[in-house]
C-alpha cells in the first residue's frame, strides 16, 4: 500500500469504531464514470485528512475526471472573498464600514444615504434584488448582466425594501455593489484585487474571479442539471457574469490554503477578523436560512453543530452547488463542491464534519 492508502484505511477503521458514516458512504451518490460529481475536503489542524474527487468534470470530455484540483464555480461562497477584500481596504484606510453608498457613488439616488458598507456586508441594506429588477425590465435571457448594469438597475429602483439596518434579508445586490466598491476604492478591477491581495499571497494559483474574455479557468468543471432522465450542461445563466456575489472559481486544494490562512490570521489580525465572526444585531429569529435560526457576520453564516461553533456558507447557481464549513474550536474545516444540482452539499459537508467532531 502507498502511504496515503494506509492513512485512508486507518481513517475508515477509526470511523467504523466511532459508529460514523465513512466518506465512501457519504459520497456514494457522486461516484460515477459517466456523470457529473464533486470534490470534498476535510482539513484538520491545517492538514488535509481527506481530499477526493468524484465523477466527471466536463461531460463533453468523458475521460476528464474530477480531482481535488478541479475548479468549480463557488457561487455565493464567493461572498467570503468579497468580504475579505472589503475588510482589507478598511484596514488600509481606503474604506470605512460606516461609509454610505452616496459617498462611494455620488450619483446614487438619495435612498443610498442610509445604506452603509456594513449593511451590505451583513445583508441588512434592504436593497432590491437585482434579479427581480431584471424581470421588471424584461431582461433578454440571452444576455448576461454585468456588475455595472446591476448598479444602474439599482439607481433606478424606487428605494429599499425596509429601513437599512433594521432587518436581515439575503442580498446578492449588496455583494455585487461591494465588488464595485472594492474596485473603486482600490483603483483595480475586482478580479485583479482578489488575485493580488488574497489569491497570490496564499498560493491559490488556480483560483480566480472569472471574467469572460479576460482570463480562463484552469481544470474547469462545467455545471449540469438532471432533466428528463439525463444530465444536461447548464453552466451559464443571465446572472453568471456578476463577480462580487458569486463569480469566483476554486478547487478544494486551493480552498485548503484559504481555510488554513483564516485559521492562522495570515491576511488580517485576530482583532480585525472578529468583525467577520460577530453576528449582526437584528431582531431575534430574523436571520433564518432554510428554516434554521442562525447569525450572519461578514460573508459567513454563524451557528453551532453538535455544540461546536460553526461558520459556514452555501453556494448555489445554475449547474453548481457548494458548501464550506469551519469549526474553529476543533481546528476543522470541510468543503464540498459539486458540478450538479443534487445532492445537497451542505448535508454532505455536515456528515463529513461529524466524522471528526465525534
Q: Give the DSSP letter string of 171-231.
A: -HHHHHHHHHHHHHHHTS-HHHHHIIIIITTTT-TT-EE--TTT---TTB---EEEETTEE
SS3 call for 152 = helix
pLDDT value at residue 292? 86
Which residue pairs from 132-140 have beta carbons closer than 8 angstroms and sit at least 24 positions apart in sequence? 133/157, 134/238, 134/239, 139/238, 140/238
Residue 14: per-residue pLDDT: 52
**Domain membership flag for residue 322:** yes
Residue 265 lies in a domain: yes
CATH of the domain at 112: 3.40.710.10
pLDDT at residue 1, as a whole number: 37
Boundaries of domain holding 317: 70-329
pLDDT of res. 99: 98
Q: What is the pLDDT of residue 291?
A: 86
Compute the residue count for the chain: 358
* pLDDT score, position 320: 98
Q: Is residue 266 part of a domain?
A: yes
Output the tens digit of pLDDT for each of the chain's 358 residues: 334 444 544 554 455 445 567 888 999 999 999 999 999 999 999 999 999 999 999 999 988 999 999 999 999 999 999 999 999 999 999 999 999 999 999 999 999 999 999 999 999 999 999 999 999 999 999 999 999 999 999 999 999 999 999 999 999 999 999 999 999 999 999 999 999 999 999 999 999 999 999 999 999 999 999 999 999 999 999 999 999 999 999 999 999 999 999 999 999 999 999 989 999 999 878 898 988 899 999 999 999 999 999 999 999 999 999 999 999 999 999 999 999 999 999 999 999 999 999 8
Tally of structural domains, the chain: 1
Q: Is residue 296 part of a domain?
A: yes
Task: Give the Cα separation of 276 and 255 in Å (integer).
Answer: 18
Strand partners, 335: 41, 324
Residue at 95 is within a domain: yes
Q: What's the pLDDT at 5?
A: 42
Rounded to an integer, what distance in angstroms lies between the CA atom of residue 122 and that of residue 275? Answer: 10
Domain-located, residue 232: yes
55 neighbors 36 (Cβ within 8 angstroms): yes
| Distance set, CA 23 to CA 8, 29, 41, 355 (Å) | 10, 11, 10, 9
pLDDT at 16: 46
What's the confidence (pLDDT) of residue 22? 87
Q: Is residue 159 part of a domain?
A: yes
Has residue 7 been placed in a domain?
Answer: no
- The predicted pLDDT at position 8 comes to 47
Q: Are the CB atoms for 159 and 115 separated by under 8 Å?
A: no
Helix (H, G, I), strand (E, B) or coil at 148: helix
Amino acid at each position: 500500500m502507498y502511504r496515503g492508502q494506509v492513512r485512508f484505511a486507518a481513517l475508515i477503521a477509526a470511523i467504523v469504531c466511532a459508529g460514523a458514516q465513512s466518506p465512501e458512504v457519504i459520497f456514494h451518490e457522486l461516484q460515477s464514470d459517466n456523470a457529473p460529481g464533486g470534490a470534498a475536503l476535510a482539513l484538520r489542524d491545517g492538514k488535509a485528512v481527506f481530499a477526493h474527487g468524484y465523477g466527471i468534470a466536463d461531460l463533453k470530455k468523458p475521460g476528464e475526471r474530477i480531482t481535488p484540483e478541479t475548479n468549480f464555480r463557488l457561487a455565493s461562497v464567493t461572498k467570503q472573498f468579497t468580504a475579505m477584500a472589503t475588510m482589507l481596504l478598511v484596514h488600509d484606510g481606503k474604506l470605512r464600514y460606516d461609509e454610505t453608498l452616496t459617498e462611494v457613488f455620488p450619483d446614487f439616488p438619495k435612498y443610498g444615504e442610509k445604506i452603509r458598507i456594513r449593511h451590505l456586508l451583513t445583508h441588512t441594506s434592504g436593497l432590491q434584488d437585482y434579479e427581480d429588477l431584471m424581470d421588471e425590465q424584461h431582461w433578454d435571457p440571452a444576455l448576461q448582466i454585468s456588475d455595472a448594469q446591476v448598479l444602474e438597475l439599482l439607481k433606478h429602483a424606487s428605494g429599499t425594501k425596509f429601513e437599512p439596518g433594521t432587518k436581515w434579508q439575503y442580498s446578492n445586490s449588496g455583494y455585487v455593489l461591494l465588488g464595485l466598491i472594492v474596485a473603486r476604492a482600490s483603483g483595480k478591477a475586482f478580479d485583479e484585487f482578489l488575485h493580488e491581495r488574497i489569491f497570490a499571497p496564499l498560493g491559490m494559483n488556480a483560483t480566480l474571479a472569472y471574467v469572460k474574455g479576460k482570463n480562463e479557468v484552469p481544470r474547469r468543471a462545467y455545471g449540469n442539471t438532471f432533466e428528463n432522465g439525463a444530465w444536461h450542461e447548464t453552466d451559464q445563466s443571465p446572472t453568471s457574469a456578476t463577480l462580487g456575489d458569486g463569480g469566483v472559481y476554486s478547487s478544494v486544494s486551493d480552498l485548503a490554503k484559504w481555510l488554513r490562512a483564516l485559521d492562522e490570521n495570515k491576511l488580517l489580525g485576530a482583532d480585525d477578523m472578529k468583525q467577520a465572526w460577530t453576528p449582526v444585531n437584528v431582531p431575534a429569529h430574523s436571520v433564518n436560512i432554510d428554516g434554521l435560526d442562525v447569525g450572519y457576520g461578514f460573508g459567513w453564516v454563524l451557528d453551532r453543530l453538535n455544540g461546536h461553533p460553526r461558520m459556514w456558507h452555501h453556494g448555489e447557481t445554475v449547474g453548481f452547488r457548494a458548501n464550506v464549513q469551519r469549526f474553529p474550536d476543533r481546528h476543522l474545516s470541510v468543503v464540498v463542491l459539486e458540478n450538479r444540482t443534487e445532492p445537497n452539499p451542505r448535508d454532505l459537508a455536515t456528515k463529513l464534519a461529524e466524522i471528526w467532531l465525534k
